[in-house]
Structure 1
């Protein structure tokens, strides 16, 4: 996947634009990501914070400590509650965009899966992707 790309929430209250090339595209199997995505894993697109901008709306944010002990701030639409992006305390210069919020996610090719120790048995991830039992973030 290459930039630029756009995305937003379900109700179009929140819209964003990104000029940055993805640093990583990943699946996260941690329990928080499963709950926020409402399914087996969260798919995220890590991009430089400098290349990301909201073009309409104001996100609502929620902060908590992750299993790693580091802070995670999740940003979502205050109207429809769709997940837009998250920020990890450990990587302050990176935005991790919710892949489902992209206007065209068809070009995504994840290269990493995290927190596989929490992976549900029925989640099938393509072979050949780098896997980590835990993650630093």
Structure 2
């Protein structure tokens, strides 16, 4: 499946190939901190299939909880996180951040990882009142 994506401000755009149902939800504390959220969801792109059609993302290389070095791609203008990939520039496998993918609603998670770090309140989130807009 061909997918497309971009950062919030539109300075970075990309296209990639991905298979359906290859979304991972990561609950590790690094993903929580780096996403400023309770978890991070990624769509795994086919190896070497990501092509940047506009702009070039900036990268920050971090050491993951697993010990692996991971390049974190983001927009240098608006700060949108776009992906994580291996540190080497060749044979890259991208985990594309689902919020930046245009077709994000067409995918569903296939697995959750680092579940020991899951925030406990996520188990009861379906019981929290939901509103179409900000409640008055």
TM-score between the two structures when normalised by the length of structure 1: 0.81
Q: Which consecutive aligned stretches of 4+ in structure 1 deviate over 2 angstroms post-superposition?
A: 19-24
Counterpart residue number, 1:7: 5
Aligned pairs for 1:25-40 within 5 A = 25-40=23-38
Find out whether 1:122 has 2:134 as its counterpart: no
Count of residues in correspondence between the two structures: 122
Q: Give 5+ residue unaligned stretches, structure 1.
A: 126-137
Q: Describe the SS at the equivalent of 2:99.
A: helix
Q: Cα RMSD (Å) of the superposition?
A: 2.0
The residue that corresponds to 1:71 in the other structure is 69
TM value normalised by structure 2: 0.82
Point out the structure with max Rg over C-alpha. Answer: 2
Shift of 1:27: 0.3
The superposition leaves residues 6-55 of structure 1 with CA deviations (integer Å, 9 ceiling, x where unpaired) of 11000000000113435721100011111122111000011123221110
Counterpart-to-counterpart distance in 1, 2:116 and 2:71: 22
Residue 64 of structure 1 contacts residue 71 of structure 1 at CA under 8 Å; is this kept in 2?
yes
Work out the CA distance in 2 between the residues paired with 1:28 and 1:108: 15
The CA distance in 2 between the partners of 1:19 and 1:83, in whole Å, is 19
In the alignment, which residue of structure 1 is the partner of 2:43? 45
Unaligned stretches of 5+ residues in structure 2: 125-136
Residue of structure 2 equivalent to 1:84: 82
2:15, 2:53 within 8 Å by CA — same for their partners in 1?
yes
